[in-house]
């Protein structure tokens, strides 16, 4: 393992314990991450540091406000969300796997993504609108596309099955249906 000596605490630490710095020959900051965090915590906790932050906020208030307005207008509008959801639905085939209901611009609100195996669920699809498409598609591969009616019926069946201690059987498409336990 490659190691470096921190100029602040004089400890020899692994290279992974230093921030990158392209300006330096070895490509690493001379102070370890722990010392940098301690310095910043002390500085920004002091009166001087708080004043610097306050001046920065005041100086850039209009710019930040404009950026926030544009961001909200672009990425939090219903048009953007609906376009991304339509894209996700088309990736999953564009039809409800249970009843065949077709996804398009007008019907997009009627679709839900159902995680077949909830133990493998990393994200809720609606929370992933701003993530890279590759990451979203990776999560979508764990889901099936259902219209809202089929989605609610499926969850009602699962809930009822849980209450009745009924075994769940997975059908070809991945939608779970009820199967009564066999009499012994």
Mean pLDDT per 10-residue run, the chain (184 residues)? 89 93 91 94 93 93 91 81 90 92 91 89 81 88 93 88 61 49 53
Degrees (nearest 5) of the Cα angle 77, 79, 82? 110
Token duo for residue 170 = 């997975």
Tell me, yes or no, whether 41 lies in a domain: yes
Residue 2 inside a domain? The answer is no
DSSP 95: B
> Does one domain contain both 44 and 104?
no
- Do 101 and 53 fall within a single domain? no
101 and 173 co-located in one domain: yes
Do 121 and 158 have their domain in common? Answer: yes
- Tokens coding 156: 């009602």
Q: Are 95 and 145 in contact (CB under 8 A)?
A: yes
Q: Roughly what angle, to the nearest 10 degrees, separates helices 47-59 and 33-45? A: 80
The reply to whether the predicted model has a pTM over 0.75 is: no
Tell whether 11 is covered by a domain.
no
Query: Which of 107, 84, 100 lies closest to 150 in space, CA to CA?
Result: 100
Q: Can you give the pLDDT at residue 121?
A: 87
Tally of structural domains, the chain: 2
Residues 84 and 138 in one domain: yes
Distance separating alpha carbons of residues 139 and 133, to the nearest angstrom: 10
122 is a domain residue: yes
- Phi, psi for 178 (deg, rounded to 5): -85, 140
- 120 plus 34 within the same structural domain: no
Residue 24 lies inside a defined structural domain of this protein: yes
Give the range of the structural domain holding residue 146, as residue numbers without chain letter.
Answer: 78-179
**Same structural domain for residues 160 and 89?**
yes
Question: What's the pLDDT at 125?
Answer: 79
Within a domain: 184: no
- Work out the number of other CB atoms within 10 angstroms of the CB of residue 99: 11
Q: Given this model, what pLDDT does residue 172 score?
A: 39
pLDDT, position 170: 47
Asked, for residue 67, whether it belongs to a domain, the answer is no
CB 96, CB 111: distance < 8 Å: yes
Q: What is the pLDDT of residue 157?
A: 87
In a domain, 10, yes or no: no
């Amino acid at each position: 393992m490659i190691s470096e000596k921190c100029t602040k605490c004089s400890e020899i630490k692994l290279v992974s314990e230093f921030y990158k710095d392209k300006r330096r020959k070895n490509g690493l900051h001379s102070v370890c991450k722990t010392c940098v965090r301690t310095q910043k915590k002390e500085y920004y906790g002091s009166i001087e540091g708080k004043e610097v932050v306050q001046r920065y906020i005041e100086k850039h208030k209009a710019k930040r406000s404009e950026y926030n307005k544009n961001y909200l207008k672009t990425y939090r509008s219903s048009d953007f969300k609906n376009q991304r959801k339509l894209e996700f639905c088309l990736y999953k085939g564009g039809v409800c796997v249970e009843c065949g209901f077709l996804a398009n611009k007008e019907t997009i609100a009627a679709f839900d993504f159902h995680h077949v195996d909830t133990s493998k669920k990393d994200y809720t699809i609606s929370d992933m609108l701003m993530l890279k498409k590759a990451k979203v598609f990776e999560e979508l591969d764990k889901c099936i596309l259902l219209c809202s009616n089929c989605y609610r019926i499926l969850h009602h069946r699962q809930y009822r099955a849980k209450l009745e201690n009924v075994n769940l059987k997975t059908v070809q498409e991945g939608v779970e249906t009820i199967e009564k336990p066999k009499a012994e």
